[in-house]
Amino acid sequence: EPGRLALRKIAAGKWQHGEHAQTVELLPERPNIFQLYEENIGALTGIIADHLKDAERDYAPGWVEEAIQLAVEHEKRSWKYIQAILERW
């Protein structure tokens, strides 16, 4: 409805810039899971990269990052531990 109202005002020559302006909130930038893995777990091999791609596709947004953080918190820095967390959720 606000879009249609704006179009009517534009057509009538009554629209003013900034009228009914809405603030747009940008989503915070999410870390790249590959970079996050390398920084927190270890070297990124081709096999691990494939596992990360699959996990990013199969699980909800943010889950892989959260699983990596949990692995770090529990000092279990391995893909198997991260995968077990994801499967448990």
66 in a domain, yes or no? yes
Q: What is the pLDDT along the chain (89 residues), one digit of tens a residue?
A: 677 887 788 888 887 777 566 666 666 666 699 999 999 999 999 999 999 999 999 999 899 999 999 999 999 999 999 999 999 99
**Structure pTM?**
0.65
62 in a domain, yes or no? yes
Structural domain boundaries, residue 82: 27-88
49 in a domain, yes or no? yes
43 in a domain, yes or no? yes
Burial class (CB in 10 A: 0-12, 13-18, 19+), 9: middle
21 in a domain, yes or no? no
Give me the number of domains the chain comprises: 1
Residues 45/51, Cβ–Cβ less than 8 Å: no
> What ranges make up the beta strands (E) of the chain?
none
CATH number of the domain that residue 55 is part of: 1.10.10
